[in-house]
Chains A and B, each alone.
Chain A
């Protein structure tokens, strides 16, 4: 119990205290925040080391016991403060603390020159509420923490320009609306079972009320994690917010929590029926494809990453939609992997932005020699997210694919359509590769642009977190099948066996052998004597304007029939739920305002018409 309370409330209290330290002492605030995050992380680790039998709910703790000077301070509230540090929650808590610490470390330098008031305080509040949401077993307590996270998200974007305040508003409205829909779902659950316990409830989805509750909860989870059609806040947020905010929330913590809650509702709170499975799988596939297609045509690298933050959620939803232990473990593994490489990518983007001040891929190029550490890390992240073996993204995608193939042996309609889900997932992976070739190629490879001659590598405090994340990508990839999945994820889902074959560690060894052999060949053939020459373009002298920048790569797609229609409609925001509902509300208010002609006889007619209708009803 003590560990749980400390994990949650230490960052919360420290965060509130930080509000009282003046903004001038930003670095001091940063160091204090880092220290309290490390302390909370220490308790989180001790939480996850507690012995928990696989697959069982952890020992519920809570219900009183908070006494100060012999007075039970919670009193009647105690029945709401129930925590459940089961194996899944402690896994989530572990990763929340990892990301908080790394991102705070990175922020020490990055945020110094930025205009972001009370940044550290909001980060700590975010961390505390995330711990709270992951650990609480009571739905009211859960939605409280979850709701505060929406506000911290809003505060982590500086509303300095018109664009960023619009993005912040959009985020707040979408998240807030989804939270209120969740409250309806919680109300229905309470009405049906009389219980608010997450671990103690298991509803059959065979009646309309339970399905409504499920869909309401699903909306909350989808919006938080950023899945279609509630994803539209993510790209706008990542474009406008500082890289650290994007790395903290949409890239890692929101994914961890949104997917954690998805895990809870699909394999605990509700018993899924085959139609809901179909809906989940469809949502997952559509999310993967739509978001990655949008990412393909972006020029702003932060927005591009935002679309990928959406697209990757689709894989996790596919994993959970399958509902098998393999699928759930795959979903969880992909969630962790995604959080690692996506926050790494945002931090690398932060590095580039920090040194160049540019946010468009078109303005950048050839930074690989100037920023070697950032370049190599970005390359590792890019290969991980695109599922290049033997990196971690491949391992989790491989698990999802074999989950889908196994699932295809079933008899329901969702099983029969397995090739569709597999096709969407694999095509999404190829499209991801394409857009990351654009990103890494456009920023780091090619010829260096004018004005970028003096770019240097970022300070050590900024590249250490990035390198650590890259190392995690490699380690999770190489040890995936032997150590990581059995060690971390089978604890949560129970034991299962892979139906495919992939020897991640030996193949990684072979990669290493190949690289060494390659280097030996180059050494033997005289690498020192290699001559350097400028590019050959048919004998012409190369000009500054000569080039084929990577953002132009996929224009061919935008020109093809169906895709050009889709991109045009996307440009008109047809697929943006927020914009569409905004348009609808404006249209409605316009219709109402039409009635207000300002002519007295008109109003008199309305009054009498209303009177007649009332009379008719009353008769």
Chain B
């Protein structure tokens, strides 16, 4: 029990995932700055931002809304992200523990942050937040099926196993799943799902700074917003890590392999960042048909290829 609490709060849970995620968000901002011919922030900028929000800035509550739910929603989002993170990272670091969750559990836990943002947005009573919430939910509905099909494809590749330990084990013995046509297709579909899950451009319509002024987060400030930042940092780390576990063969922690493992995460984040910097924001309807038609077709094609052994 104490060990499990340690997993949740310190490593590989809240503290570790939060710090790593903050560095990754620095990386994301730095790359963005380079793409835009700017200098970019210093390494510790995400930490300055976080602690300023948490300790210095005042928290403003919505007058005509439900303050309790408004304040609890960020807490739930951090919980969901951390819990999913623990279940993803324990197998990745190959820590044997009775405390584990299978792919379905991870899949559901990964939805909790988005769900909490929507509830928090609605609780604020702001019409622009409601627009953001509606878009976030429609986005979830669009990518959820694709994401599930990707996971189904991986379960098929792993021989009907849906435990992350055995999926990583299968890959480390027989080669990473991405080394096949179906694996590449699954990687593409999964990458776009992650882009949408992180609400990065071109799928940032729930936040859409320029049109609905951060949408779902418009009313958040101070400590509550700090927690949202934290949850977003954690998600920025664990979603690429999840991808690494599902398709890229997981981590190895001996010798030079550590560098290779880090590269998997950083490379995925780099892809996400480049995607977001080279694309305009699309409309929610375009995003829906993008996932519901094209991405689902890719995922189904991958599954059909898996059935035929490619």
- Report which A residues bind B (CB closer than 8 A): 366, 368-369, 375, 379, 387-389, 394, 398, 401-402, 405-406, 408-409, 416, 418-419, 422-423, 426-427, 430-431, 433-434, 437, 440-441, 444-448, 499-503, 506-507, 510-511, 513-515, 517-518, 521-522, 525, 527, 529-538, 542, 546-550, 552-554, 556-557, 559-560
B301 within 8 A of A: no
Interface residues as binary, B95-133 with A (CB distance below 8 Å gives 1, 0 otherwise): 000111110110111011001001100111111111101
B288→A560 contact, CB < 8 A: yes
What residues of A have a CB within 8 angstroms of the CB of B162 in the complex? 402, 405, 499-500
Which stretch (B20-28, B35-43, B67-75, B188-196) binds chain A? B67-75
Task: Find residues 121-159 in chain B having any chain A CB closer than 8 Å to their own CB.
Answer: 122-131, 133-134, 137-138, 140-141, 144-145, 148-149, 152-153, 155-156
Q: Using Cβ atoms and an 8 Å threshold, which residues of chain B touch A530?
A: 58-61, 222
Stretch at the interface among B76-84, B239-247, B274-282: B76-84
Q: A500-B102, A538-B213 are in contact. List 19 more A-B contacts (CB 8 A).
A: A398-B104, A408-B160, A418-B152, A422-B148, A431-B141, A501-B105, A510-B79, A510-B83, A514-B76, A514-B78, A521-B54, A522-B224, A530-B58, A530-B61, A530-B222, A533-B62, A535-B63, A547-B127, A556-B138
Tell whether A559 pairs with B285 under 8 Å between CB atoms, given A427-B148, A434-B141, A510-B8.
yes
- Does B204 belong to the interface (CB within 8 Å)? no
Contact B108 A388 (CB under 8 A): yes
In the complex, chain B residues whose CB is within 8 Å of the CB of A552: 134
With a CB–CB cut-off of 8 A, which chain A residues contact B109? 389
Of the candidates A430, A434, A447, A556, the one whose C-beta lies within 8 Å of that of B284 is A556
B105 touches A389 (CB 8 A): yes
Other-chain residue from B58, B119, B223 in contact with A437 (beta carbon distance below 8 A): B119
Interchain CB contact under 8 A, A532 and B60 = yes
Residues of chain A within 8 A of B107, CB atoms compared: 426
- Closest Cβ–Cβ distance, residue B82 to chain A (whole Å): 8
- For B140, what are the chain A residues with a Cβ–Cβ distance below 8 Å? 430, 433-434
Contact B104 A500 (CB under 8 A): yes
Partner pick for B160 among A406, A434, A527, CB 8 A cutoff: A406
User: B64 contacts the other chain (Cβ, under 8 Å)?
Assistant: yes
CB–CB A389/B108 < 8 A: yes
Q: How far is the CA of A136 from the CA of B307 in the complex (A)?
A: 47
Q: Is the CB of A423 within 8 A of B152?
A: yes
Q: Which of A366, A437, A556 contacts B125 (CB 8 A)?
A: A366
- Taking CB atoms, residues of chain A closer than 8 Å to B119 are 437, 440-441, 445
Contact indicator B134/A368 (Cβ below 8 Å): no
A502 touches B105 (CB 8 A): yes
- CB <8 Å contact, A426 and B105: no
| A375, A394, A501, A557 pick with most chain B CB within 10 angstroms | A501
Q: Chain A residues with Cβ under 8 A from B129's Cβ?
A: 535
- Decide if A556 touches B64 in the complex (CB within 8 Å): no
Contact partners of A368 in chain B: CB under 8 A: 66, 69, 123
| Closest-CB distance, B64 to chain A (whole angstroms) | 5
Q: Is the CB–CB distance between A521 and B223 below 8 Å?
A: yes
Query: For the complex, what is the distance from the CA of A518 to the CA of B228, rounded to whole Å?
Result: 12
| Bound form: Cα–Cα A549–B125 in Å | 10
- Bound-state CA distance A447–B129 (Å) is 12
Contact with A along B207-237 (1 / 0, CB 8 A): 0000001000011001110010000000000
Q: Given the known inter-chain contacts A503-B99, A525-B222, please indicate yes or no for A445 contacting B145, CB distance below 8 A.
A: no
CB neighbours (8 Å) of A441 from chain B are 118-119, 122, 130, 133
B172 within 8 A of partner (CB): no
A331 to B76, CA, bound (A): 29
Tell me whether B4 is interfacial, beta carbon within 8 Å. Answer: yes
Complex A-B: 11 CB contacts under 8 Å: A423-B145, A426-B145, A430-B140, A440-B119, A501-B102, A501-B163, A513-B5, A515-B72, A536-B218, A537-B128, A557-B288
- How far is A604 from B52 in the complex, measured between Cα atoms in Å? 98
Chain B residue with the shortest CB-CB distance to A535: B126
Query: Is B303 an interface residue when CB atoms closer than 8 A count as contact?
Result: yes
Q: How far is the CB of B301 from chain A (nearest CB, A)?
A: 13
Considering only CB atoms, which chain A residue lies closest to B164 in the complex? Answer: A501
Given A547-B127, A559-B285, is A553 in contact with B134 using a C-beta cutoff of 8 Å? yes
Is B55's CB within 8 Å of the partner chain A? Answer: yes
Smallest CB-CB A-B distances: 3 pairs: A518-B75, A500-B102, A535-B126
Binding site for A on B (CB under 8 A): 1, 4-5, 8, 54-55, 58-67, 69, 71-72, 74-76, 78-79, 82-83, 98-102, 104-105, 107-109, 111-112, 115, 118-119, 122-131, 133-134, 137-138, 140-141, 144-145, 148-149, 152-153, 155-156, 160, 162-163, 213, 218-219, 222-224, 227, 284-285, 288-289, 292, 303, 307
A401 touching B65, Cβ below 8 Å: no
B contact residues around A434 at 8 Å (CB): 137-138, 140-141
> Of the candidates B63, B71, B218, which one forms a contact with A534 in the assembled complex, judged by CB atoms under 8 Å apart?
B63
Contacts of B62 in A (CB 8 A): 532-535
User: Nearest-CB distance from A528 to chain B (Å)?
Assistant: 11
User: With contacts A502-B102, A510-B79, A560-B289 known, is A387 near B108, CB below 8 A?
Assistant: yes
- Say whether, besides A405-B160, A510-B79, A537 and B105 are in contact (CB < 8 Å): no
Residues of B within 8 A of A447 (CB): 64-65, 125
Tell me the minimal C-beta distance from A364 to chain B in angstroms: 13
Nearest A-chain residue to B307, judged by Cβ:
A416
CB distance from B283 to the nearest CB of A (A): 9
CB distance from A131 to the nearest CB of B (A): 36
Expressed in whole angstroms, the minimum distance between the Cβ of B211 and any Cβ of chain A is: 10
Given A422-B148, A500-B163, A502-B102, A548-B223 contact (CB < 8 Å): no
In angstroms, Cα B1 to Cα A422, docked, is 33
Q: Check if B104 sits within 8 Å of A445, measured CB to CB.
A: no
What B residues does A427 contact at CB under 8 A?
A: 141, 144-145, 148
A434-B141, A535-B219, A556-B138 known; A501+B127 contact, CB < 8 A: no
Shortest A542–chain B CB gap in Å is: 8
**A536 vs B62: C-alpha distance when bound (angstroms):** 9
Choose among A506, A514, A549, A550 the residue with the greatest number of B CB atoms under 10 Å from its CB: A514
Docked complex Cα distance between A501 and B105 (Å): 8
Q: Which of B127, B141, B160 is A430 in contact with, Cβ under 8 Å? A: B141
Chain B hits for A511, CB < 8 A: 79
Chain A residues positioned under 8 Å from B289 (CB to CB): 560
Say whether A437 contacts B118, CB under 8 Å: yes
Residues of A within 8 A of B141 (CB): 427, 430-431, 434, 557
Q: How far is the CB of A374 from chain B (nearest CB, A)?
A: 13
Q: B98, B125, B284: which contacts A535 (Cβ < 8 A)?
A: B125
**Nearest A residue (CB) for B98:** A503
| Chain A neighbourhood of B54, CB < 8 A | 521, 525
